[in-house]
Amino acid sequence: MNNNAIGFFDSGVGGLTVVRELLKQLPNERVIYIGDTARTPYGPRDLEQVKQFAWELTNFLLKKQIKMLVIACNTVTAAALKEIKDKLDIPVVGVIVSGARAAIKATQKQHIGVIGTKGTIQSGSYMRAISKRSSQIEITEVPCPKFVPLVESNQAHSPTAKKVVFESLQAFSLSPPDALILGCTHYPLLNSIIQSVMGEDVVLIDSGAETISDVSLLLEYFDIQAKGSRQELHHKFYTTGSAQMFAKIAKSWLGLDNLDVHHVDLQRLDDKKHFMAADNRQSDKTIIIATHNAGKAKEFSHLFDEKGYRVKTLLDYPDLPEIQEMGRMVDK
């Protein structure tokens, strides 16, 4: 038994669709969630940047003493699940395989559709997961990059959303599948519109919701379920963007009052890079860069990380007095 929280992260509010299913199926479990709404969407970003962001979010949650990590983001699951799972000593769950299994079970015509971000579709992760389990199934994948911004801006029920969804799903009109994987955890927030466009005969597969079955099995397997009935669970939610906007969407979707939502600035957190090291250990070699520029700090980190150096900047020493930057080299 273990009463520590389960950690969830996503590129924004989409992962709340996974949390909602956990609250239904496993009401005794406590949740700590972080959504990187300031840097969403992840889909168009390159692989290495997605991995970097994933480790920053993972590191943040590990400091909260979580007992399990749920990567509630299809793009990150495709890009970094194996790497993160290999380096952590707690169970780590993604959202792709469970969605693929559910779709295989649901299809009668042996034709599955997949919609997702550009990154998820380009990774071929759903294609591989489905083909590995059933090579006879036809798979049609369609990227829908406009869906995430709609959800993040709280326009999931707007006329604009209806127009965008209709136009994006026309790729299925000539040969519609009978099972459609919502390959991004944001997409269930558009569920009613997607169902209307695809038709009632098409089964929509919520990959995130299917993941909670795997979470439940792992909790039992490792004997880390929460102990007994807990009436006053204190779930915590963090966002890198607007806490007010996040709380508005979260309250509507989760049906919870008095949500504990906090803004967090990942760029100002100490040690945000260290879990990216190959052996997961911190370096004892440190270089200090005299800059307050977060962009420059990232550039120097990329430059020196592979050489085994830990990079710090003036952002790590907020109590130091300000000095005028001279813009030239000096000898001392």
Active site residue ranges: 73, 184
Helix axes 74-87, 125-133, angle to 10 degrees: 70
Amino acid at 202: V
Enumerate residues 6+ apart whose C-beta is below 8 A from 109: 177, 178
Instruction: Tell which residue, 199, 224, 263, 310, has the closest CA to residue 38.
Output: 263
Amino acid at 21: E
CB of 103 closer than 8 Å to CB of 96:
no
Q: Which residue has the tokens 């009668």?
A: 108
Strand 6-10's sheet: what is its strand order?
92-93, 68-71, 6-10, 31-35, 236-239, 261-263
Using CA atoms, how far residue 155 sits from 163, 180, 192, 255, in Å, is: 12, 22, 13, 18
The torsion defined by the Cα of 130, 133, 137 and 141, in degrees rounded to 10, comes to: 10
Q: Which residue spans within the chain are E strands per DSSP?
A: 6-10, 31-35, 68-71, 92-93, 111-116, 138-143, 179-183, 203-206, 236-239, 261-263, 286-289, 310-313
Using CA atoms, how far residue 319 sits from 270, 291, 293, 312, in Å, is: 15, 14, 16, 14
Looking at the DSSP assignment, which residues form a beta bridge with residue 39? none
Please give the angle made by the CA atoms of 146, 147 and 149, to the nearest 5 degrees: 75
Q: Determine the Cα–Cα distance for residues 254 and 289; give it in Å rounded to an integer.
A: 44
- Longest pairwise C-alpha distance within the chain: 76
